[in-house]
A and B are shown apart, each in its own frame.
Chain A
Amino acid sequence: MDTKKNHVNPLPESIHTEIRRTGDRIFAISLGCYYLFGLVIAFQYGTFLIAFGVGGLSLAAYYGSKWLLPKHGFYQYVGSAVVAVFTAQFIYQMHGLFEMHFFVFIGAALLICYQNWRLQLPNIILVVAHHAGFAYLQYRGEKEIYFTQQEYMDLPTFIIHGALAAVVVWICGYWSWMMERRTAKELAIKADVVRQAGNVQRNIAFAESISQGHMDSAYAIADDDDELGRSLLKMQESLAAAQRKDAKDKFVTLGLAQMGDILRSGADIETLSYRIISHLVKYLKANQGGVFILEDQENDPHLRLTACYAYERRKYMAKRINIGEGLVGQAAQEADKIYLTDLPQNYMRITSGLGDANPGCVLIVPLKFNGQVEGVIELASFTLFADFEVELVEKLAESIASAVATTRTNETTRKLLDELQQQTEMLGAQEEEMRQNMEELAATQEGMERQRAEMEEVRQMEIQRFQARIRELEGQVLA
């Protein structure tokens, strides 16, 4: 009955309490009966002193130790010894009546109620000590010792007597042990069922929480058997991941769409730049930002700050950064983004009315379109940008670069158009002037023609007059 070989878990405290309560009840009734029985048989030989004295002291020892140490098993061992003492008392009261010895067996059977084989020990130890003591004296030859009522209890008889008692006590102890194991198993199963029922309730509550969209609700895996809980946690993680991905996709899509609207607004570079950066800073919940557009006039390529949001203006007072100058110029030169989370001191300060502080990160993204850098966007934030936010900025950079290129082209076109128009207008004016000159020329020509006609008419008239004169003269001549 080595409990170390027992694979059943130790009995939980509540189970001990339950067994103890049952055992106490049985024992209380039994000890009451023992005591009363002692009083009843006291009438046989007038052994009231022993009945009251020994019985009373036995009960006092049991209930006193129980009262003093209610949660300790000590009183149960006292109870076991008390059973042996009662047996001795009854044997005495009935003048060694052999049947009174059966109370040893009754006591052993009674002790099973506590389901603790060790409780057999005090009972049997007292019996063995008593018998062994007297047997030793008797077999040593002490004539004064009357150990038994039998005329002579020889050694084989004594051995059989003791062996039978040992068998009974062993059986009772074995049953105690078996019952303890069985109770432990049954109650472990019961506890397991209760625990699993608790898990199911928690699973249901957790599933309902997930179904209501609470992806951040916590759930602690109760034990290794909580497979459903583990699956629900995985489901929650998957759903949360999908939700996060949806949120990111939505964030990116919405960001692209809103930026598209801004980019299609068709403003000039400065206005467009400001709209872009103000929207981007707000959308990313960043703290400040700037847009630099590549200017390449007269073979002097440089970046010009066309718009900023909450910038410390002094830093870019000149609003001009050469290619390769600083991080912004470096990003433009390498046509690659720069994302810094460990910023050098005084690189940039985010200022507000209450003070200023170093940003947590700076993101510098070149505006590239068809491999051509059109400018640079710089964003600063106290909190770090997530990967998808950086990706969004990179995607937007391409669109912005395209828009910048388009705007730049549009502006160039518009300038050319203006120039053409001016030239056209100038040409029109010149044409008008020419037309007026022509008209004047025509009028002059007409006047000249008219003068010439008049002259011709005059000449004709003169000719005619001359001819008439001639004829007249001829007539006259002839005449």
Chain B
Amino acid sequence: MRNKILAVALVAIALSGVLSLFWYQELVYRLPTPIPKDFVSVATGHRIQLPANVRLPGSKPVLLHFFNPECPCSRFNIKYFLTLVKHHGKDIRFMAVVPGNEDLAAAREMLGGEVPVLPDSGQQLSRRCGVYASPQAVLLDAQGVLYYRGNYNRSRYCNQKKTSYAEIAIESLLARNPSPGFDALATRAYGCQLPGRE
């Protein structure tokens, strides 16, 4: 009888562990990322004042890829992000933004070294862009005006073409169209909270 209780307890513990892992690694990211208390919304069409240490090429639109090597969600869409880089690298300047200097090496390795990686110590850049989660795409036109800020896709695996919001935004920008209106699924951030923005 004692062994039966122990066996049931063991299975219950293991099941709890498995569920916890799935929860913290996946399920929690299916919910909108909690909005930080000090969040200040930045509307599209707003010109972003970049920090002094961030210099953008003035000739091309820029896509700031808010990336966190520690975040499972960030890792999930690396492949998709690199696909975007490959397709639109000539017209758009892709830049990855990591939470701090300590993430630089890991981010460079994960992104294959093709994309420049900016450290966002103090989260100045993310605040100015209205970003509080990763992965998030911030698309600025050549003048530094916010064209799109939001998720890459409704699906965390970025494989739903209809909801590949970032790509749709890029194509719209390149077509010189005004910023398309996206629903909340695009603009409400899903993913990991950025460090210091809880």
Q: Tell me the A residues contacting B by CB distance below 8 Å.
A: 45-47, 49-50, 53-54, 57-58, 60-61, 64-65, 68-69, 72, 74-75, 78, 85, 88, 92, 95-96, 143-146, 149, 151
Contacts and interface: CB of A to CB of B under 8 A. Distances in A.
Contacts of A92: 22, 25-26
A59 to B, nearest CB: 9
Contact of B157 (A47, A72, A75, A149): A149
B7 A69 contact: yes
Interface of chain B, main secondary structure = helix
A61 B11 contact: yes
A78 to B, nearest CB: 6
B10 A68 contact: yes
Given A65-B7, A69-B4, A69-B7, A58 B156 contact: no
Nearest to B17: A57
Contact of B21 (A45, A54, A64, A74): A54
Contacts, number: 79
Per CB-CB distance, the 4 closest pairs between chain A and chain B, nearest first, are: A61-B14, A68-B7, A65-B7, A57-B14
B18 A143 contact: no
Interface in B1-26: 3-4, 6-7, 10-11, 14-15, 17-18, 21-22, 25-26
Contacts of B110: 46
Nearest to B162: A151
Nearest to A142: B30
Nearest to B106: A46
B82 to A, nearest CB: 13
A60 B14 contact: yes
Interface string B135-179: 000000000000000000011110111100000000000000000
B3 A69 contact: yes
Contact of A54 (B18, B30, B75, B162): B18
Given A64-B10, A95-B76, A149-B157, 5 more contacts: A57-B18, A65-B11, A69-B3, A92-B25, A149-B155
Contact residues on B (Cβ < 8 Å of other chain), bracket: 20 to 34
A285 B14 CA distance: 84
B32 interface: yes
Contacts of B162: 151
Contacts of B157: 95-96, 149
A45 B75 contact: yes
Interface of B: 3-4, 6-7, 10-11, 14-15, 17-18, 21-22, 25-26, 30-32, 72, 75-76, 78, 110, 154-157, 159-162, 185, 190
A397 to B, nearest CB: 78
B10 A54 contact: no
Contacts of A151: 160-162
Nearest to A146: B155
A50 B72 CA distance: 11
A53 B24 CA distance: 12
Nearest to A77: B11
Contact of A50 (B21, B78, B155, B156): B21
B26 A74 contact: no
Contacts of A65: 7, 10-11
Given A69-B4, A151-B160, A49 B25 contact: yes
B76 A146 contact: no
A146 B25 contact: no
Counting chain A CB atoms within 10 Å of each CB, the highest count among B4, B14, B26, B155 belongs to: B14
A58 B32 contact: no
Contact of A145 (B11, B22, B30, B161): B30
Given A61-B15, A65-B10, A92-B22, A46 B75 contact: yes
